[in-house]
Amino acid sequence: MIRVAVADDQAVVRMGLRALIEREGDLECVGEAADGAQALRLLRDTRPDVLLLDIRMPGMDGVETLRAIAADPGLSGTRIVVVTTFAVDEYVFAALQAGASGFVLKDSAPDELVSAIRVVAAGEALLSPSITRKVIGMFGRHAGAEPVAGVETLTPRERELVAWVATGRSNEEIARELVISPDTVRTHVSRAMVKLHARDRAQLVVFAMRAGLALPT
């Protein structure tokens, strides 16, 4: 059973997400929060596997909440999916830096939202190519390269594949672009994640952008 918490300042959105979660046999909604402070209390009380988090809330917003979660070792087991009405805005890259594992839009199909919960609960990142490419377009060109621990240990192939990951493409798409097998891509990406101490694919995108490894868009 995947235990899910919901944090959104709109009661109707929380109600809809709870109903969506509770209709699935393998999902359980363990609670709701209307703002970031409530969300932190809820997480500490229930320790869910996944938190669906609105990025724009009054008081402590989604980014501040993410940072508070990241600063609490006791909450490291909860994965965060940002649920937003905005495909990309000034909050998205900050949310990635703060520890979000993925993004879904509030107007996504119900099956997509449910799939997002399962994907993130399984330890994967959920970054659509469209969102990732827009983030790079908005922020990547304006941020100079900065030191990222472990980058110097990457092989040339690993550096190349980390840059491809930062385009938002899947392993299969990268494999087709480079005419190599998906297993080869997966192996090099996994090794790069270990060397960079990246929690997941979302964090790998952040590291790639910070280190100046992202491909031009």
pLDDT band at 144 (very low <50, low <70, confident <90, very high): low
Same domain, 28 and 100: yes
Same domain, 69 and 33: yes
Is residue 76 classed exposed, middle or buried when 0-12, 13-18 and 19+ CB atoms within 10 A define those classes? exposed
Same domain, 96 and 160: no
Domain-located, residue 135: no
pLDDT band at 131 (very low <50, low <70, confident <90, very high): low
- Which residue in the block uniquely carries the two structure tokens 């280190």? 211
pLDDT band at 23 (very low <50, low <70, confident <90, very high): very high
State the pLDDT at residue 76: 87
Structure confidence by residue, pLDDT tens digits, 71-130: 998 998 899 998 887 665 567 777 877 888 888 888 888 888 898 899 888 877 676 656
Q: Which of 78, 98, 126 is the last residue in one of the domains?
A: 126
Q: How many domains does the chain have?
A: 2
What lies within 8 Å, CB to CB, of 39 at 6+ separation is 5, 7, 33, 51, 53, 65
Domain-located, residue 173: yes
| Between 83 and 11, residue with greater pLDDT | 11
Domain-located, residue 30: yes
Structure confidence by residue, pLDDT tens digits, 37-64: 999 999 999 999 999 999 888 888 889 9
Q: Which helix (H) or strand (E) holds 3?
A: strand 2-7
Report the sign of the C-alpha dihedral through residues 31, 36, 38, 43, in that order. Answer: positive
State the pLDDT at residue 153: 93
Residue 181 corresponds to which tokens in the numbers above?
């097998």
Quote the domain boundaries for residue 201. Answer: 144-210
Same domain, 99 and 6: yes
Q: Is the pLDDT of residue 188 over 90?
A: yes
Give the three-state DSSP class for 102: strand
Domain-located, residue 9: yes
Rounded to the nearest integer, the mean pLDDT of the chain is 85
Domain-located, residue 148: yes
Give the three-state DSSP class for 184: helix
Same domain, 35 and 115: yes
**Which among 157, 162, 158, 169 is positioned nearest to 210, based on CA atoms?**
162
Output the domain CATH number for residue 157. Answer: 1.10.10.10
Domain-located, residue 139: no
Domain-located, residue 134: no
Contact between residue 49 and residue 3 where contact means Cβ atoms under 8 Å apart: yes
Same domain, 83 and 122: yes
| Structure-derived torsion over alpha carbons of residues 148, 150, 152, 158, reported in degrees to the nearest 10 | -100
Q: Which of 67, 94, 126 is the last residue in one of the domains?
A: 126
Residue 196 corresponds to which tokens in the numbers above?
């960079």
Output the domain CATH number for residue 41. Answer: 3.40.50.2300
Same domain, 54 and 91: yes
Residue 76 amino acid letter: S
Residues 56 and 66: their CA atoms lie apart, in Å, by 12
Domain-located, residue 39: yes
Q: Is the pLDDT of residue 216 over 90?
A: no
Residue 202 corresponds to which tokens in the numbers above?
């979302």
State the pLDDT at residue 4: 97
